[in-house]
Structure 1
């Protein structure tokens, strides 16, 4: 233990839980050194671990506790957190590329690089899920960036540079759930919490091959008792990881069989053969033997040959089917006699290019314990401690809807991550729309979307929260699934074709504009008809004379001649756009059949008055009809009267109610005519049809007036009043004008129906939802002119 200056620094506790040994290291990092304040090595009493996998959690936990207690005595402090590493048994490696585009040129920060790493890890996890052909559930236990890119150009360090786009090639390593769970369980039973988890080859390479060496194509082989972990460097980066399940225990087991000793004695013989010329031991019969070390070398040579052959093959496979420039060996298993020489032969390298790495790579490590000798066995334990400063990560436990989950902690976990890990359906997280309605209008497909449902109810530790809330360790999460909205509905009178499409006729010299009839599946339906799935809706551009009379609320005197385009007609005759109709009206009243319903009422018709309320002008016309005079449509008298006749008996108009003589006059007069409840939406032509020929009506006045009325209608529909009545709201989303239509009122969540925004691309980020500069709730009511900011929060 030091004189106390080390206590000024936060201590890091690293634990190398190997197949044969548990090595505990406590220290801290200065600017250019790592100071080891305490270290303790202890062997397992039994074979509680095989090939890097914990088989007896209780026994391994007991060994860890003893190492922890010895270290606590040395430093005089209680240890609560530990950094650990996993061996590469059933290791999976995914190499992928990831990039991020800034909205505008920006300075790259350390946080940006960290976010890029996390995006790469998440992408690798998705790739592994797709390619996983085993029953194992894999966890990420480490990663290495192969190369960074700045505006698509390779860079060794992109921090503080300006860029429009950053990217990286990354190697992400994964281990099965049972390997990780076993390590966590053993550590927890020893009274410790995991502060950081990495992979043994990652820990070893950070010490054995410094960055200045990584330009070279070098292989690092960490030979433990159960596994031989391999990593490869090239062009300044770590390019691959691998593992073979052959290591020191293969040699020990051979010695057990040949010399009739227990496993512990065999380990002693193996270690002594690397340092001594003769070895003395007792077999299980308690007979003492003395053998030369060369005998052990000759015994183990075939197994060493098998091990080096497998390691060399794996190195070449990871290096693109070619050998490397050099190989470094660390770990206790690599000290067996002849290993480095055999591996050099298999890699086609000179003997001097394959060597043990121990004291050479620990120059910047200072041991305060004088009796510690720097050797390859200590490389990985030191690397585990140093990895704490490079990649602080691990796992956190949560309970999701009653199920216990373990999640890889990337410092940005949210409730959404827990939901996805638990397999909670995405569609139950976000509001669901009711079933949509699909039908056809004039052959064109029309889809009405269902109403939006309610979002999922989210609780963490019994407190209401949202999906983007950060996870707390050991928290209790409850998510109640979102609900579906009501099914889509639509009636005929809600269709744009019903409210905007019309057909104009000239009746007794007056332009009458009528809505087009709507047929559903070949049958005429009322405007209140509820459209059904797959309905075929067609607009009909013609009336019969009888239907026009019903629409105008008049009874036609069939004893008088009915003229259509100056030809005799009947009530069943078809009439089309701009046709002229001449008839004699018998009476006014409520029609027996009303094909359309008008919602907007401006000027009542005669048929709507009670008998005692009928205006005098109607009485005058009824008297005129009784005397044989031609009766005009009563609506005409709202703007123009036709009581006077000239000497020839032809109908005319007084000068003060003069005929329309040009298009401009027609437009102005058309604006003064109001619609009736029965749907009269036209303006009055100044001259009676008897005073003009058919061509005059249909080509000049009728067309001119029709265009004028269309113009007026368009102006009215686009007026501010149309927005204020709730039928349309104009908002600005991220500076872009967006019209909200189809509902009487809109709330904030409705914008997702009109504005493209991918709700699944969170990548651990929160969503920004601002309304007029303030944070908005999803139920906030929208009005015209509102400004909305909608984007993902940058990590």
Structure 2
């Protein structure tokens, strides 16, 4: 026990409150009085065990109250004993269990104390606070045939509960409505053909309506409470809501035609129930209660929460208090001294309660009854009356005295906080509100027996809509055949199967505690299988001849514009059309002939490819095209054109394969040095036919050009003999060029030979000089070698020229006047065109000296 709580005492009547610490004797006396006040009061202590014991537990935020009683033969309830114990810690907040072991310890203490007087207790009836309560009002309607029975009225009520649960799910106020249990409902009104009635039983009409208010609690609240009970060896006999329990004590059904409000003010929540027009019309909750006042005292006087709670109770009884704060300061205060600083919090609590009442009721009610331990908060009653603008005598703090069905209520229970446990006791005595636990497809669910429960109730609680478990009919197949819609129905699905404890059941099968309910989903129906042949009709054939052979061509049947066979399956929405081939190409395709022609497969540079050989088409002996319309009896001819050549397949033009040059006024075709064409590794010409499976190598390089050397070899140029003593000059388009210079299509090639005797001394380009002797000899030798090589490529001619130049260089090494040459161009006496500098460099004309040729020999 906290130290400050030990020093909390009550001042003597008539004494003036004092400040400072109490004398030792006074402190001892006060502690004894407080301890005596907590002692359990009992109405009677039976010596023999009762077989029909009832055990009601009010598990509140601050304390646990237990009542043991028996139900007599006349139906009245005789209270045997009662016990109250407070929580040592704040194990419950706002009416919900936060520390199951701590709460179970308090329950165990209450249970063991009562068992010492009445014998073993096996089960208990409990009530849940409305902190997590959700209420939904909904209406159900039903067509009536004949006299309305009690079962019809019950079914209409249940349909209203289902509508309320569906409304809760659609409101999106909870994450998963299947985790909320319906703990009770009230029928607000019945209507029959628009007329309001108290009951529908025995009435006749066409349309019956029921408006119900259903209450839902989250599974977590119930599971934690059930865990606390099981930890003490108790099962949950019945469960209800605290406002429902309280209203059963103070507002009997005969008084519910009045617009009355009952507010159960506990420590964590203030639960509200409203009656009007003969029924409970609304439930509500305010998340404020006595703890807000205790917290205000704790904050104002710097006290431990438990000490502040004790001081609040003393002040509420008009008693003075003595306590020490956290700093060690001691206080002797009157009740008024404690109450005055917390009046703003009391007014705030009253305002919150009044606002919720107005919201639920629409206007101020006729009267308000306050119950629960928090109802004793000073000035709360006055502030509620003020906020609702009601006379003070229309707001009252009620306590149970004469309660219908309860005999000899002990004096200890004549207090506002005893209303709820007495209401729980009354509910425990009824067989219609027992708590059931069933399993639906292996998952445990809790139901509240506010009437005889059936499989339908369990499925509703589990969130199972049986219609969604029935097998769906197979989808019908609808197709369009040549513009006309045809429908093919599917098979029906099977219904869901229900079983209770392994036996076949229906929605109306009654269930009990521990029932195991199984729902097996029905099988869906199947869509029909319709094939193309099932919907197509006979279409006349087209008769023609192809290459002299008669052909009978049937209509082409398309599914969604794609050709299909008779066994093709149809899908919903398919469009089937029949179309006769109309063109030459369509007729060929229908007869299995490729309209575009024969396809030749070959390899090109290592990759598989193909070429289609265009066919020759004739209709009635006249040239035709693939798009030509075909009529009945037409004579068609389909033949292949000449075999394709590599040139036509690869697109090799004459310009690609050869160059045209003019030499001595004659046109010559020179093979292109930029093109390589082989089949199976063997060089071939573009005119070579393309055979099936041929391995073709085709290379074309834009960087490689045909040179003058290639051209000279190709045109059959014969260089003069080495003893001819002439100078040679190569001209392309009348311009001197190098022996390795490129030559283009259409160029004119010439070789100018000039005898050395006719060369003028003033003409430096043709004059024989000693250093040019080797060049002349090399040029003549290179030309002679190139001529001897015949059709050799440029590379071979260059190699021959290089070899001759090397020979000349070797010979000239012995001649002191001739230098050694290091390149083919230098040996030939030819120079490449100068770099583009804006001024043309002079060209050096090749010359051949007779003397040089003679000396070289």
After TM superposition, the score normalised by the length of structure 1 is 0.57
Question: Deviation of residue 479 (structure 1)?
Answer: 6.0
Partner of 1:242: 284
Question: Deviation of residue 252 (structure 1)?
Answer: 1.5
Secondary structure of 2:282's aligned partner: strand
Asked whether the 8 Å contact 1:329–1:357 carries over to 2, the reply is yes
Partner of 1:504: none
Q: Deviations over 1:548-588 (max 9, x none)?
A: xxxxxxxxxxxxxxxxxxxxxxxx9xxxxxxxxxxxxxxxx
Secondary structure of 1:258's aligned partner: helix
Partner of 1:310: 352
Question: Deviation of residue 399 (structure 1)?
Answer: 6.2
Unaligned regions of 5+ residues in structure 1, if any? 499-516, 541-571, 573-795
Question: Deviation of residue 22 (structure 1)?
Answer: 1.1
User: For residues 34 and 518 of structure 1, what CA distance do their matches in structure 2 show?
Assistant: 91
Asked whether the 8 Å contact 2:369–2:398 carries over to 1, the reply is yes
Check 1:309–1:299 CA distance in 2 against 1; reply closer, same or farther (3 A cut).
same
User: For residues 210 and 419 of structure 1, what CA distance do their matches in structure 2 show?
Assistant: 30
Asked whether the 8 Å contact 2:135–2:214 carries over to 1, the reply is yes
Question: Deviation of residue 246 (structure 1)?
Answer: 1.0
Partner of 2:224: 182
Question: Deviation of residue 486 (structure 1)?
Answer: 4.9
Question: Deviation of residue 287 (structure 1)?
Answer: 7.3
Check 1:132–1:393 CA distance in 2 against 1; reply closer, same or farther (3 A cut).
farther
Check 1:494–1:228 CA distance in 2 against 1; reply closer, same or farther (3 A cut).
same
User: For residues 64 and 111 of structure 2, what CA distance do their matches in structure 1 show?
Assistant: 10
Question: Deviation of residue 229 (structure 1)?
Answer: 0.9
Question: Deviation of residue 170 (structure 1)?
Answer: 1.1
1:35 lines up with 2:89 in the alignment:
no
Question: Deviation of residue 52 (structure 1)?
Answer: 0.9
Asked whether the 8 Å contact 2:480–2:576 carries over to 1, the reply is yes
Partner of 1:67: 110
1:340 lines up with 2:381 in the alignment:
yes
Pick one of 108, 121, 124 that aligns with 2:161: 121
Check 1:44–1:132 CA distance in 2 against 1; reply closer, same or farther (3 A cut).
same
User: For residues 301 and 282 of structure 2, what CA distance do their matches in structure 1 show?
Assistant: 39
Check 1:445–1:208 CA distance in 2 against 1; reply closer, same or farther (3 A cut).
farther
Check 1:361–1:93 CA distance in 2 against 1; reply closer, same or farther (3 A cut).
farther
Question: Deviation of residue 250 (structure 1)?
Answer: 1.2
Partner of 1:135: 175
Partner of 1:192: 234
User: For residues 120 and 424 of structure 1, what CA distance do their matches in structure 2 show?
Assistant: 15
Pick one of 376, 379, 382 that aligns with 2:416: 376
Check 1:234–1:447 CA distance in 2 against 1; reply closer, same or farther (3 A cut).
same
Question: Deviation of residue 164 (structure 1)?
Answer: 4.8
- Aligned pairs for 1:30-109 (under 5 A) are 33-76=76-119, 78-102=120-144, 104-109=145-150
User: For residues 231 and 113 of structure 1, what CA distance do their matches in structure 2 show?
Assistant: 24
User: For residues 47 and 381 of structure 2, what CA distance do their matches in structure 1 show?
Assistant: 41
Check 1:404–1:217 CA distance in 2 against 1; reply closer, same or farther (3 A cut).
closer
Partner of 1:18: 60
- Aligned pairs for 1:457-536 (under 5 A) are 463=502, 465=504, 468=507, 473-474=513-514, 482-484=522-524, 486-490=526-530, 533-534=572-573
Check 1:325–1:260 CA distance in 2 against 1; reply closer, same or farther (3 A cut).
same
Secondary structure of 1:147's aligned partner: strand
Partner of 1:275: 317
Q: Deviations over 1:422-449 (max 9, x none)?
A: 779965x333555542223675533323
Asked whether the 8 Å contact 2:471–2:522 carries over to 1, the reply is yes
Asked whether the 8 Å contact 1:442–1:538 carries over to 2, the reply is yes
Partner of 1:146: 188
Check 1:71–1:442 CA distance in 2 against 1; reply closer, same or farther (3 A cut).
farther
Check 1:417–1:336 CA distance in 2 against 1; reply closer, same or farther (3 A cut).
closer
Partner of 1:329: 370
Partner of 2:211: 169
Secondary structure of 1:191's aligned partner: coil
What root-mean-square deviation, in Å, do the aligned CA atoms of Structure 1 and Structure 2 show?
A: 4.2
Q: Deviations over 1:597-648 (max 9, x none)?
A: xxxxxxxxxxxxxxxxxxxxxxxxxxxxxxxxxxxxxxxxxxxxxxxxxxxx
Question: Deviation of residue 70 (structure 1)?
Answer: 2.5
User: For residues 121 and 419 of structure 1, what CA distance do their matches in structure 2 show?
Assistant: 9
User: For residues 383 and 148 of structure 2, what CA distance do their matches in structure 1 show?
Assistant: 51
Secondary structure of 1:105's aligned partner: coil
Partner of 1:617: none
User: For residues 279 and 316 of structure 1, what CA distance do their matches in structure 2 show?
Assistant: 37
Secondary structure of 1:489's aligned partner: coil
- Aligned pairs for 1:326-405 (under 5 A) are 326-359=367-400, 362=403, 365-367=406-408, 369=410, 371-388=411-428, 389=430, 391-398=432-439, 400=441, 403-405=443-445
Asked whether the 8 Å contact 1:400–1:422 carries over to 2, the reply is no
Question: Deviation of residue 396 (structure 1)?
Answer: 1.8
Pick one of 473, 482, 485 that aligns with 1:445: 485
Check 1:161–1:63 CA distance in 2 against 1; reply closer, same or farther (3 A cut).
farther
Question: Deviation of residue 408 (structure 1)?
Answer: 5.8
Check 1:295–1:391 CA distance in 2 against 1; reply closer, same or farther (3 A cut).
farther
User: For residues 108 and 156 of structure 2, what CA distance do their matches in structure 1 show?
Assistant: 38
User: For residues 148 and 473 of structure 2, what CA distance do their matches in structure 1 show?
Assistant: 42
Check 1:381–1:456 CA distance in 2 against 1; reply closer, same or farther (3 A cut).
same
Question: Deviation of residue 95 (structure 1)?
Answer: 0.9
Look at both structures and tell me which one has the larger radius of gyration over its CA atoms. Answer: 2
Secondary structure of 2:136's aligned partner: strand
After TM superposition, the score normalised by the length of structure 2 is 0.53
Secondary structure of 2:272's aligned partner: strand
Question: Deviation of residue 363 (structure 1)?
Answer: 6.5
Question: Deviation of residue 459 (structure 1)?
Answer: 7.1
Check 1:435–1:114 CA distance in 2 against 1; reply closer, same or farther (3 A cut).
closer
User: For residues 266 and 408 of structure 1, what CA distance do their matches in structure 2 show?
Assistant: 38
Question: Deviation of residue 119 (structure 1)?
Answer: 1.9
Secondary structure of 2:341's aligned partner: helix
Partner of 1:203: 245
Partner of 1:221: 263
User: For residues 485 and 364 of structure 1, what CA distance do their matches in structure 2 show?
Assistant: 58
Asked whether the 8 Å contact 2:250–2:400 carries over to 1, the reply is no
User: For residues 419 and 361 of structure 1, what CA distance do their matches in structure 2 show?
Assistant: 39
Asked whether the 8 Å contact 1:457–1:464 carries over to 2, the reply is no
Secondary structure of 1:372's aligned partner: helix
- Aligned pairs for 1:551-700 (under 5 A) are none
User: For residues 133 and 488 of structure 2, what CA distance do their matches in structure 1 show?
Assistant: 51
User: For residues 72 and 324 of structure 2, what CA distance do their matches in structure 1 show?
Assistant: 45
Question: Deviation of residue 89 (structure 1)?
Answer: 0.9
Q: Deviations over 1:399-425 (max 9, x none)?
A: 635x55555667434389559837799
User: For residues 143 and 154 of structure 1, what CA distance do their matches in structure 2 show?
Assistant: 19
